[in-house]
Amino acid sequence: MRATLMYEAGDVRIENVPDSVIKHPTDALVRITASCICGSDLWPYGSMTRADGPARMGHEFIGIVEDTGSEVTTVKRGDLVVAPFAISDNTCAFCREGLHTSCSHAQANFWDGEAEEGGQAEAVRVPLADGTLVKLPVAADSALIPSLLTLSDVLGTGYHAAVAGQVNERTRVTVIGDGAVGLMAVLSAKRLGAEQIVLMGRHQGRTDLGHEFGATDVVSARGEEGIEQVRELTGGHGTHVVLEAVGNMPAYQQALGVVRPGGVISRVGVPQYEEAPIGFGSLFRHNLRLAGGPAPVRAYIEELMPDILNGTIEPGKVFDATTNLDGVPAGYQDMADRKSLKVLVNP
- Give how far the C-alpha of residue 345 lies from the chain's centroid of Cα atoms, to the nearest Å: 16
Our finding on whether 70 is near its own copies (CB under 8 A) is no
Nearer to its own copies, 220 or 282 (CB): 282
Q: How far is the CB of 96 from its own copies (least distance, A)?
A: 11
Quick note: the x/- pattern for its own copies over 260-289, rule CB under 8 A, is -xx----x--xx-xxxxxxxxxxxxxxxxx
Residues 146-165, interacting with its own copies (CB under 8 A): 164
Closest to 12 measured CA to CA, from 252, 316, 279, 327: 327
CA dihedral 337, 338, 343, 347 (to 10 degrees): -10
Q: SS3 sequence, 74-137?
A: CCCCCCEEEECCEECCCCCHHHHCCCHHHCCCCCCEEHHHCCCCCCCECEEEECCHHHHCEECC
Q: Which residues pair with 62 in a beta bridge?
A: 34, 82
Q: Determine which residue in the list 69, 179, 292, 329 makes contact with its own copies, applying CB under 8 A.
A: 292
The count of C-alpha atoms lying within 13 angstroms of the C-alpha of 158, restricted to the half-sphere facing its C-beta, is 31
Q: Per-residue contact track with its own copies, 201 to 240, x per CB under 8 A?
A: ------------------------------------x---
Q: Residue 166 or 346: which CB sits closer to its own copies?
A: 166
Within 10 angstroms of residue 262's Cβ, the number of other Cβ atoms is 11
Least distance (Å) from its own copies to the CB of residue 152?
19
Chain-centre distance for alpha carbon 225: 28
Interface with its own copies, residue 99, by CB under 8 A: yes
**CB of 31 or CB of 286, closer to its own copies:** 286
Which phi and psi (to 5°) does residue 7 adopt? Answer: -90, -40
Q: Taking each helix axis as running N to C, give the angle between helix 180-191 and helix 154-164, from 0 to 180 degrees, rounded to the nearest 10.
A: 50
The nearest distance, CB 35 to its own copies, in angstroms, is: 24
The distance of closest approach from Cβ of residue 30 to its own copies in the complex, given in angstroms and rounded to an integer, is 26
Q: Which is nearer to its own copies, 72 or 103 (CB)?
A: 103
Under a CB-based contact definition with an 8 Å cutoff, are residues 210 and 317 in contact? no
Q: Are 178 and 154 in contact (CB under 8 A)?
A: no
When the beta carbons of 62 and 163 are compared against its own copies, the nearer one is: 163
Continuous segment of H or E residues that includes residue 332: helix 328-336
Closest contact distance (angstroms) between CB of 113 and its own copies is: 12
Binding mask 302-331 for its own copies (x = CB under 8 A): ------------------------------
- Residue placing its CB nearer to its own copies in the complex, 257 or 271: 271
Q: Measured from the CB of residue 244, what is the shortest distance to its own copies in angstroms?
A: 11
Collapsing DSSP states into helix, strand and coil, what is residue 322?
strand
Closer to its own copies by Cβ: residue 186 or 256: 256
Nearer to its own copies, 193 or 277 (CB): 277
What is the binding site for its own copies (CB under 8 A)?
93-94, 97, 99, 101-102, 164, 237, 261-262, 267, 270-271, 273-294, 296
